[in-house]
């Protein structure tokens, strides 16, 4: 089996290629630098695939830390008021509006992820909350079973009419432009609570196993 691991020119975006047919999936965390669960989960997955503890058996997997500057500072954005997850707009991506770090980073990530088959962006809330899932489009999706692996799916928020912002602005909405359920935002709970990060990592592995990209032993499956 051919397996290639390398870091792309984009900082903290890692691409794992099985060398075999299969889907192209992105798992992202740290779009906001103070949401530690997603950051720690993505770091754990990167380490697992680089070390060989996990082996990609089909398709291509991107593992991305969204906003390295904000992560380094432990803040939501790279400066007060900045929000990378509001920068995936037409004005920024197509028209080149904005010269701040978050604008450049949005263009960088969009260039890599626009054509993936599926992506999940791991987030956390600023106030205590139960986990929930956000999807711009959900109707008539042929792959809704993927949601069975996510805690909080019973609290599913959909925004097909783009009421939230009037246009796609977030990473999961960018992914969802080409079809239903191509992109999900997974709000894992309160940002100050990192107790779920092992469970969330297992959920990501379960999704990859469901997509036949890795193999998990039955006792590993998170229920």
Task: Express each pLDDT in 145-161 by its tens digit.
Answer: 788 888 877 788 877 66
Tokens representing 136? 């711009």
Of 29, 25, 52, 40, give the one whose Cα is nearest residue 198. Answer: 40
- Edge-to-edge order in the sheet of strand 183-190: 4-7, 13-17, 60-65, 24-29, 118-125, 183-190, 132-135, 156-158
pLDDT of residue 162: 67
- Does residue 17 have a pLDDT over 60? yes
Q: Residue 46, Cβ neighbours under 10 Å: how many?
A: 19
pLDDT of residue 141: 57
pLDDT of residue 6: 44
SS3 155: coil
The region, left, alpha or beta by phi > 0 then psi within -120 to 50, assigned to residue 70 is: alpha
Task: Express each pLDDT in 83-123 by its tens digit.
Answer: 999 999 999 998 898 999 999 999 999 999 888 888 999 99
Which pTM was predicted? 0.90
pLDDT of residue 1: 35
pLDDT of residue 149: 87
Task: Express each pLDDT in 39-83 by its tens digit.
Answer: 999 999 999 999 999 999 999 999 999 999 999 999 999 999 999
Q: Residue 204, Cβ neighbours under 10 Å: how many?
A: 23
Give residues with Cβ within 8 angstroms of 80, minimum separation 6: none
């Amino acid at each position: 089996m051919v397996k290639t691991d390398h870091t792309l020119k984009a900082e903290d975006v890692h691409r794992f290629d099985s060398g075999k047919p299969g889907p192209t999936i992105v798992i992202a965390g740290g779009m906001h630098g103070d949401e530690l669960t997603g950051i720690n989960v993505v770091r754990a997955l990167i380490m697992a695939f680089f070390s060989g503890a996990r082996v990609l058996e089909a398709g291509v997997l991107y593992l991305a830390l969204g906003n390295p500057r904000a992560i380094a500072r432990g803040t939501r954005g790279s400066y007060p008021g900045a929000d990378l997850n509001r920068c995936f707009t037409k004005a920024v991506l197509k028209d080149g509006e904005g010269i701040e770090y978050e604008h450049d980073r949005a263009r960088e990530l969009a260039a890599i992820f626009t054509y993936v088959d599926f992506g999940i962006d791991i987030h956390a809330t600023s106030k205590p909350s139960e986990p929930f899932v956000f999807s711009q489009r959900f109707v008539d999706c042929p792959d809704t079973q993927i949601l069975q692996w996510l805690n909080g799916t019973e609290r599913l928020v959909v925004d097909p009419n783009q009421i939230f912002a009037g246009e796609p602005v977030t990473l999961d909405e960018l992914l969802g432009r080409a079809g239903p359920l191509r992109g999900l935002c997974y709000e894992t709970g309160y940002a100050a609570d990192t107790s779920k990060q092992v469970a969330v990592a297992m959920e990501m592995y379960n999704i990859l196993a469901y997509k036949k990209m890795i193999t998990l032993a039955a006792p590993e499956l998170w229920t």
